[in-house]
Amino acid sequence: MVDRKLKIANKNFKSRLIVGTGKYRNFRECSNAIKVSGADIVTVAVRRVNISDKNKARLMDYIDPKKITYLPNTAGCFNAEDAIRTLRLAREIGGWKLVKLEVLGDKKNLFPEMIETLRSTELLTKEGFKVMVYCNDDPLMAKRLENAGAVAIMPLAAPIGSGLGIQNKVNIKIIRQQTKLPLIIDAGIGQASDASIAMELGCDGVLINTAIAKAKNPIQMAEAMKLAVISGRKSFLSGRIKPNLFGSASTTNKGII
Amino acid sequence: MKVKNKIKITVNGKQIQVISNFSMKRLMAKLKIPLNKIAIELNKKIIDKKRISKIYLQKGDKIEIVHFIGGG
């Protein structure tokens, strides 16, 4: 069975794994991990140019935005105004309209501030941005984001960088049932099996940064995540057996001696 | 000898001095920042990079020059 491609805002992508570019030891390692992961979308952040050390390596020298889709984020923004300012700057750098909105509400748990997130989604959509929205795993808020014009719903599995895996499978399943928008798990993945579970729940993709970048062997983990996403997707599409409380022998009793 | 007037501006949070009648284009050249792959904000308004030779810096201007870095 040939799977349809991941389609976001009318654009097709080869991979269902999106990777972040933060927290790597250096740009070379980051670039290698992206290659091995097979991802064709990477998240990036907008920050000040270092004006006192101009020779410092730059992300764009290592990851070619013509080959890999840059998905600018609003990391570090705590209100709609800051998020919009950041994404306008991102658009100015290179014309990006597909963006990842992330408006945080708490510095410790990094949970999204959903009122500001919703307001930002409305405002950015009106400005012509295609907004992929980092959100909590609340089906009601997910619906409101969809109505506000989001092009992808990206609920957390667990707090950003926590590696705790999917904490609320039920809510993810409910969101899956109610939306036709791309549903991408963003944040909280710890190991490959977490990514597989996300895909088995019917998600369209997974966004991973810390679990790859901070693994002891990031390049190998990038490959593990790639395979886990493919594996989970195939498992989902194949139609799993019904869970049964009792055993069912794999070998027939017919001809038993 | 006549001393040229100097003005103070803030670039990426750092205060620097330039002579008056200093254009944004000259500032970028002085800082040796290539214009591709960046965005410039002047007093919280994004400016068109094609017009930087026509923008002259004023006392107290706040300039932000940003680019992409790694992020999740």
β-strands A41-48, A69-72 pairing? parallel
pLDDT at A108 over 80: yes
Percent of chain A, pLDDT > 70? 100
DSSP state letters, A206-253: EEESHHHHTSSSHHHHHHHHHHHHHHHHHHHHH-PPPP-SS---SS--
The nearest alpha carbon in chain B to A88 belongs to: B46
Q: What digits encode the pLDDT tens for the residues B6-52?
A: 999 999 999 999 999 999 999 999 999 888 889 999 999 999 999 99
User: Angle A33-A104-A27 (CA atoms, 0-180°, nearest 5)?
Assistant: 20
Quote the pLDDT of residue A57: 83
Q: What is the pLDDT of residue A56?
A: 79
A51 and chain B in contact, CB less than 8 A: yes
Neighboring chain A residues of B39 at a CB cutoff of 8 Å: 46, 89-90, 92-93
Chain centre to alpha carbon of residue A217: 21
Please determine, for residue A218, whether its predicted confidence score (pLDDT) is greater than 70.
yes
Q: Can you tell me the mean pLDDT for A83-91?
A: 96
A115 touches chain B (CB under 8 A): no
The whole-model pTM stands at 0.93
**Is residue A251 very low, low, confident or very high in pLDDT (cuts 50, 70, 90)?**
very high
* Residues forming a β-bridge with A205: A184
CATH code where residue A133 lies = 3.20.20.70
- Residue A42 pLDDT class (50, 70, 90 cuts): very high
User: Taking 90 as the threshold, does the pLDDT of residue B1 lie above it?
Assistant: no
Question: What's the rounded mean pLDDT across residues A83-99?
Answer: 93
Cβ atoms of residues A150 and A182 within 8 Å: no
Mean pLDDT over A124-130 rounds to: 97
> Is residue A245 assigned to a domain?
no
Q: How far apart are CA A219 and CA B47, in angstroms?
A: 40
Q: What distance lies between CA A77 and its chain's CA centroid?
A: 18
When pLDDT is averaged across residues A133-145 and rounded to a whole number, the result is 98
Cβ distance of A23 and B70 shorter than 8 Å = yes
Q: Which residues contact A69 (CB under 8 A, 6 or more apart)?
A: A13, A40, A41, A42, A98
Residue A8's beta-bridge partner residues? A11
User: A234: exposed, middle or buried (C-beta count within 10 Å: 0-12, 13-18, 19+)?
Assistant: middle
Nearest CA among B59, B43, B55, B42 for reference residue B7: B59
Domain region containing A234: 6-238
Across the interface, do A46 and B68 touch by the CB < 8 Å criterion?
Answer: yes
In a domain, A243, yes or no: no
Give the pLDDT of residue B5: 87
Instruction: Please report the pLDDT score of residue B25 as a whole number.
Output: 95
Q: Would A55 be classed as within a structural domain?
A: yes
Structure tokens at A92: 């100015």
Provide mean pLDDT across the span A80-103: 94
How many structural domains comprise chain A? 1
Name the residue ranges covered by the structural domains of chain B: 23-57
Q: How confident is the model at residue B2 (pLDDT cuts 50, 70, 90)?
A: low
- The span from the CA of A169 to the CA of A137, in Å, is 9
Residue A253: beta bridge partners?
Answer: none
Q: Is the pLDDT of residue A29 over 90?
A: yes
